[in-house]
Amino acid sequence: MTSSPLRTAVIAGHPLTFDVHGSAENPTVVLLSGWCQDHRLFDPLLPHLADTHHVIRIDWRGHGEDRSPVADFGYREQADDVIAVLDELGIGTFLPVSTSHGGWANVEIADRLGTARVPRSLVIDWIMTPAAPEFLAGLEASQDPEHWTEARQSLFDVWLAGSSHEIVRHHLEKEMAAFDYEMWARSCRVIADAYGRWDSPLQRMQAMSEHRPMRHLFSQPSAPEYVQAQADFQAAHSWFSYRQVRGETHFPTLDSPGVVAEEIRSCTSSSAV
């Protein structure tokens, strides 16, 4: 395995942290976290991939080593940044793999670049259906400067789902909790606005100019109606598929990295990325 330390690319005036692992002769996988997370979300996954894939982890603006305040941005700007970094690195065809609401940027990237460069995509634990009222209420509460930490803890409790998984707890309590009110409030507003515009990620995928295989890997929610909604969508759209992971938490890359790596290998071997 070959790798590089964290690097910084300045894109549109913003320093973006990224790293590269594995040989460029192997299929390229670009790992994209959700909001208020960074490249460390994929630490347990790297050992499963770096010998067989060219793995690039890119932190969103304001999420990397430099946490200085940044001007407002959303998933379109996130897509701008990722494409610019990949262009600077000379990356051609690749598989984007995103977690949670990093999926909005994932689909934006794929839609802009087309199937020739992004022949398929993998999204992880992203709420595929229209946002439930209680979820939207949590997003709104997380934008309240007086009560945002309590609202954030409520989200943490849902994502942890009663698990005592040490790596996941560290990720929540030390890594995600290190982001300030400004970024949390921004993330919740951007996510709410995305559901307001597109209704659901499934509808956003359907609106893409070119369809390619899109796969959803998830643990939460596990409700039968949520799984059925994806089964119904898959039946009507042959390019969409899903797999339910029996993981403990909202973070398959942390609690089920072997399963995530298996899905990535399947995607890259099928699409010859």
Q: Percent of the chain beyond pLDDT 90? A: 96
- Check if 216 is active-site: no
* Tokens 């200085």, residue located: 68
Q: Cα separation of 59 and 34, whole Å?
A: 10
* pLDDT interval class at 270 (50, 70, 90): low
* pLDDT interval class at 127 (50, 70, 90): very high
Catalytic residue among 14, 21, 171, 250: 250
Kindly report, residue by residue over 65-121, the tens digit of the pLDDT.
999 999 999 999 999 999 999 999 999 999 999 999 999 999 999 999 999 999 999
Start-to-end C-alpha separation, the chain: 19
Half-sphere exposure (Cβ direction) of 159: Cα atoms closer than 13 Å: 26
Kindly report, residue by residue over 214-238, the tens digit of the pLDDT.
999 999 999 999 999 999 999 999 9
Name which of 73, 120, 66 is nearest 96 in CA terms.
120
Helices (H), 35-180: 46-49, 75-89, 103-117, 133-141, 148-160, 166-170
Kindly report, residue by residue over 153-182, the tens digit of the pLDDT.
999 999 999 999 999 999 999 999 999 999
**CATH architecture, range 7-129+200-271:** 3-Layer(aba) Sandwich (3.40)
pLDDT given at position 2: 43
For the chain, which residues make up each domain, given as ranges?
Answer: 7-129+200-271
Q: What is the mean pLDDT of residues 36-65?
A: 97
pLDDT given at position 1: 40
